[in-house]
Amino acid sequence: MRRTETLILAALLGIGLLARLWVSFHTDYLIHPDESHDYLDQGFRLAFGHGPTTWTYEYGLRSYLFPGLIAAVMWLAAIAGAPPAEAHFAVTLGMVALSLTLIWAAWHWGRGIDGRLGGLITGFLIAIWFEEIYFAGHPLSEVIATDALVAGAWLTEDAFGRPTRRRLIWAGVFLGLALYQRVQIAPAIAVIGLWLLVRDGWRPGLWLVAGALLPFGCLGLLDGITYHYPFQSIALYLWTNIGAGVSDYYGRQPTWYFLSLEASYQAGAAGMLLLTCLIGAWRAPRLMLIAVSIIATLSLIGHKEYRFFHPALPFLCVLSGLGTSWMVRLAVAGLSRLNQWAGDRNRDALTMIGCAVALTVWSLTSATLALQGPFKREWKRESGAIAAARVLSSVPDLCGVGLYDITGSAMAGFSFVGRDVPYYIVSTPRRFASDAVSFNTVLAQDSNLPPGDDFIRQGCWDNGYNEASMNTRMPAMCLLVRPGGCKPGAIRDIDRDRPPGY
State pLDDT tens for residues 484-493.
888 876 544 4
**Is residue 30 domain-resident?**
yes
Give the residue-averaged pLDDT of 468-477. Answer: 76
Same domain, 416 and 353: no
Give the residue-averaged pLDDT of 99-116. Answer: 94
Is 498's pLDDT higher than 90? no
Residues pairing with 444 in the sheet: 478
Integer Cα distance of 145 and 130 in angstroms: 19
Q: Which of 12-16, 173-177, 303-307, 345-349 has the lowest mean pLDDT?
A: 345-349
**Is residue 497 domain-resident?**
no
81 Rama sector, left if φ>0, alpha if ψ -120 to 50, beta otherwise: left
Whole-prediction pTM: 0.91
Give the residue-averaged pLDDT of 72-85. Answer: 92
Same domain, 273 and 257: yes
Same domain, 199 and 285: yes
Residues pairing with 479 in the sheet: 443, 459
Note the pLDDT of residue 492: 43
Q: Which of 346, 379, 412 is the last residue of a domain?
A: 379
Query: Which residues contact residue 95 at a Cβ distance below 8 angstroms, ignoring those fewer than 6 apart?
Result: 136, 137, 138, 139, 143, 144
**Is residue 498 domain-resident?**
no
Comparing 258 with 241, the larger pLDDT belongs to 258
Our count of domains for the chain comes to 2
Phi, psi of 326 (to 5 degrees): -65, -40
Same domain, 317 and 460: no
Secondary structure (3-state) at 403 = strand
Range of the domain at 95: 2-379
**Orientation angle between helical segments 313-338 and 285-300, nearest 10 degrees:** 140
Same domain, 310 and 430: no
Give the residue-averaged pLDDT of 284-291. Answer: 95
Count of alpha carbons within 13 Å of 233, Cβ hemisphere only? 25
Q: What is the mean pLDDT of the chain?
A: 88
Q: Which of 355, 379, 403 is the last residue of a domain?
A: 379
**Is residue 163 domain-resident?**
yes
Note the pLDDT of residue 284: 93
Same domain, 165 and 251: yes
For the chain, percent of residues with pLDDT exceeding 70: 92
**Is residue 115 domain-resident?**
yes
Same domain, 153 and 184: yes
For the chain, percent of residues with pLDDT exceeding 90: 58
Same domain, 26 and 118: yes
